[in-house]
């Protein structure tokens, strides 16, 4: 057996999603070396390998994100303007939405996000400050005296292993995979009311009651075409499956309303004059009316709907066989949704099926046409010095007190408390919230000193995670954590000491401000609309 390879860097970032990439970037900007690993062959996580356009808040065009996130958004628009044959109107639109999708002001193709993220990292990758290992996952970690000393990664195909050593480790994996390996205390699933005191918490905690995963896929629509896929193995099951929260099959045009989950809302596929919302345009990422050349035969849309949310079982902290069963079933659900759309979905003209829907495998770079990784809404979450709860963000609970501020804030974000139907209780929550801040205490494990979360694995409850899990927030978390470990190295102190020392906390927050990270919302923020 060959000797295991050893690689060293100042900071080891496990997970190349948005938080991981930004953690690596901020560390490199501070002059330190970074090793960045990623389980797939695409950096970018939610935006790329999971194929989910950004979920953002109403003020995003003006403020409420980090400078680098704004740079990313600007670069995406510039990418289209430099490389695509756009109409004069599209070229001159400073707020160009490439897909004209209605989920976001910036719906774009995953490959464009990938290119932009790679470009942002390029100077530091090319100079050797950042060393990237693609298609590697963590399999082991060693600790001593509340410090992580190493993490071992393994290639997902050829099983080569690398031992990674550094001063600091950041778990930016989608599921918080390093936490159990390193013995970091964490929570998973749904907490109980006795622990969190949250009005919407379960009466009794259930660690297996987690948010669903979704395998996103990309399609275009060619009127008159027939691109019907082979009938999926589990289609008959999914076609007849009626969730307990509905009287309609999951594969239908009816989903629970976010305003009133007891009522169903009707959708259809394509835009129409009957006032029924189009799901094709929901996450449309390329609209051909922006183009002056016929490069694309039709608009491209990413299918991430309530109809392909997989909630029949969790994939965290379950036996490997069970995890694989759920991952395969989630793929089958998405393929079954496509087949149903192509063959049986009721049309507004009274017909059935849209055979002109074409699975675009090339858009996501996979053989099966599904995203490289399922969309993950919920991770393991560290037991932190401070745990964010429903009480911190809910408009109903906070009332006239408004936005909760923290003296140790490291960023801002905003989103509803959005909990999709969970795997055991099938709970569904969509609760109005105030914009929020990200407290440093939620980024610090209660015990381990040199491993920090870099994404959805910060110290939140399951409910609060529903608004802290989105793209701009994960980006901000990773970036702030990168600056935190860099500051800690520079001053030879731990992140916990940064928070506990007024002088260091102030200097660290000044470092964030200097690097374009907003710590608080404007006092005169118009909560009614945004821009």
Strand ranges inside 306-428, DSSP E: 309-310, 357-359, 381-382, 409-413, 417-419
219 forms beta bridges with: 301, 359
Q: In 3-state terms, what secondary structure has residue 306? A: helix
pLDDT band at 262 (very low <50, low <70, confident <90, very high): confident
Tell me the backbone φ, ψ of residue 168, rounded to 5 degrees.
Answer: -135, 150
Residue where the block lists tokens 């099926």? 353
Length of the chain (residues) = 531
Q: Across residues 484-499, what is the average pLDDT? A: 98
Residue where the block lists tokens 């969509």? 430
Tell me the backbone φ, ψ of residue 226, rounded to 5 degrees.
Answer: -140, 105
CA distance 260 to 280: 23
pLDDT band at 529 (very low <50, low <70, confident <90, very high): low
Q: Which residues of 386-410 are buried (b: 16+ CB within 10 A; e: fewer)?
A: bbbbbbbbbeebbeeeebbebebbb
Strands 417-419 and 436-439: unpaired
Provide the H-helix boundaries in 100-145.
Answer: 110-126
- In the chain, domain spans: 5-190+377-514, 213-364
Instruction: For residue range 52-107, list pLDDT tens digits in order.
Output: 999 999 999 999 999 999 999 999 999 999 999 999 999 999 999 999 999 999 99
pLDDT band at 331 (very low <50, low <70, confident <90, very high): very high
pLDDT band at 398 (very low <50, low <70, confident <90, very high): very high
pTM: 0.97
* Cβ within 8 Å of residue 244, ≥6 positions away: 426
pLDDT at 260 over 90: no
Provide the H-helix boundaries in 171-273.
Answer: 178-181, 193-196, 235-240
Of residues 337, 341, 334, the one with CA closest to residue 371 = 334
Q: Rounded to 5 degrees, what angle do the CA atoms 5, 9, 14 make?
A: 80
pLDDT at 293: 87
Q: Which two tokens stand for residue 524?
A: 């005169």
Q: Report yes or no: 86 and 290 within 8 Å, Cβ to Cβ.
A: yes
Q: Across residues 293-310, what is the average pLDDT? A: 96
Q: In what order do the strands lie in the sheet with 34-38?
A: 130-134, 34-38, 11-14, 168-171, 451-453
pLDDT at 346 over 50: yes
pLDDT at 263: 86
pLDDT at 261 over 80: no
Q: Report yes or no: 303 and 338 within 8 Å, Cβ to Cβ.
A: yes
Q: Rounded to 5 degrees, what angle do the CA atoms 67, 72, 78 make?
A: 125
Residue where the block lists tokens 């490199």? 28
Provide the H-helix boundaries in 8-109.
Answer: 18-29, 67-83, 88-91
Residue where the block lists tokens 């059935």? 352
* Cβ within 8 Å of residue 50, ≥6 positions away: 174, 216, 371, 372, 373, 374, 375, 376
Q: Which two tokens stand for residue 519?
A: 């710590």
Q: Report yes or no: 443 and 480 within 8 Å, Cβ to Cβ.
A: yes
Q: Report yes or no: 392 and 466 within 8 Å, Cβ to Cβ.
A: no
* Cβ within 8 Å of residue 328, ≥6 positions away: none
pLDDT at 373: 98
Strand ranges inside 317-383, DSSP E: 357-359, 381-382
Q: In 3-state terms, what secondary structure has residue 332? A: helix
Give just the sign of the alpha carbon dihedral 234, 235, 240, 245.
positive
Q: Across residues 474-497, what is the average pLDDT? A: 98
Our separate counts of H helices and E strands in the chain read 15, 23
Q: In 3-state terms, what secondary structure has residue 376? A: coil
pLDDT at 2: 59
Q: Across residues 431-440, what is the average pLDDT? A: 97
Superfamily of segment(s) 5-190+377-514: FAD/NAD(P)-binding domain (3.50.50.60)
H-helix or E-strand containing 11? Answer: strand 11-14
pLDDT at 214: 98
pLDDT at 1 over 50: no
Of residues 411, 485, 425, the one with CA closest to residue 207 = 425
Give the gyration radius of the chain's Cα atoms: 23
Cα-to-chain-centroid distance, residue 327:
17
pLDDT band at 531 (very low <50, low <70, confident <90, very high): very low
């Amino acid at each position: 057996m060959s000797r295991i390879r050893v690689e060293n860097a100042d900071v080891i970032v496990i997970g190349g999603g948005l938080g991981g990439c930004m953690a690596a970037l901020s560390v490199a900007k501070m002059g330190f070396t970074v090793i960045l690993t990623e389980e797939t062959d695409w950096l970018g996580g939610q935006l790329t390998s999971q194929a989910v356009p950004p979920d953002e808040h109403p003020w995003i065009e003006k403020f409420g994100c980090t400078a680098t996130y704004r740079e990313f958004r600007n670069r995406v628009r510039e990418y289209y303007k430099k490389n695509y044959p756009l109409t004069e109107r599209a070229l001159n639109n400073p707020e160009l939405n490439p897909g004209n999708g209605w989920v976001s002001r910036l719906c774009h193709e995953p490959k464009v996000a990938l290119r932009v993220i790679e470009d942002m990292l390029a100077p530091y990758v090319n100079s050797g400050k950042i060393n990237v290992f693609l298609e590697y996952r963590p399999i082991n970690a060693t600790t001593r005296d509340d410090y992580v000393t190493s993490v071992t990664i393994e290639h997902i195909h050829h099983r080569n292993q690398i031992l990674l050593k550094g001063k600091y480790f950041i778990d930016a994996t989608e599921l918080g995979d390093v936490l159990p390996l390193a013995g970091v205390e964490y929570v998973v699933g749904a907490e109980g009311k006795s622990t969190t005191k949250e009005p919407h918490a379960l009466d009794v905690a259930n660690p297996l009651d987690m948010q669903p995963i979704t395998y996103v896929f990309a399609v275009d629509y060619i009127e008159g075409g027939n691109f019907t896929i082979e009938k999926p193995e589990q289609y008959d099951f999914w076609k007849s499956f009626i969730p307990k929260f509905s009287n309609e099959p999951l594969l239908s045009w009816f989903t629970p309303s976010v305003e009133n989950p007891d009522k169903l809302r009707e959708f259809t596929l394509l835009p129409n004059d009957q006032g029924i919302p189009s799901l094709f345009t929901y996450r449309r990422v390329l609209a051909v009316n922006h183009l002056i050349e016929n490069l694309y035969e039709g608009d491209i849309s990413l299918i991430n709907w309530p109809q392909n949310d997989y909630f029949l079982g969790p994939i965290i902290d379950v036996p490997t066989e069970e995890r694989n069963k759920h991952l395969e079933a989630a793929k089958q659900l998405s393929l079954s949704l496509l087949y149903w759309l192509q063959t049986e979905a009721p049309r507004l003209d009274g017909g059935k099926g849209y055979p002109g829907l074409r699975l675009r495998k090339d858009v996501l770079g996979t053989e099966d046409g599904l995203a490289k990784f399922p969309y993950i809404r919920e991770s393991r979450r560290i037991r932190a010095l401070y745990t964010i709860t429903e009480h911190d963000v809910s408009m109903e609970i906070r009332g006239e007190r408004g936005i909760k501020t923290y003296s140790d804030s490291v960023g801002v974000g905003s989103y509803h408390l959005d909990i999709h139907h969970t795997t055991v209780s099938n709970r569904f929550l969509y609760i109005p919230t105030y914009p929020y801040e990200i407290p440093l205490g939620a980024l610090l494990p209660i015990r381990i000193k040199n491993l920090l979360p870099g994404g959805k694995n910060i110290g939140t409850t399951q409910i609060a995670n529903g608004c802290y899990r989105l793209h701009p927030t994960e980006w901000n978390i990773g970036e702030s954590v990168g600056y935190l470990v860099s500051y800690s190295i520079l001053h030879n102190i731990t992140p916990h000491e940064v928070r506990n020392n007024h002088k260091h906390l102030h200097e660290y927050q000044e470092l964030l401000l200097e690097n374009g990270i907003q710590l608080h919302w404007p006092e005169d923020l118009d909560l009614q609309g945004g821009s």
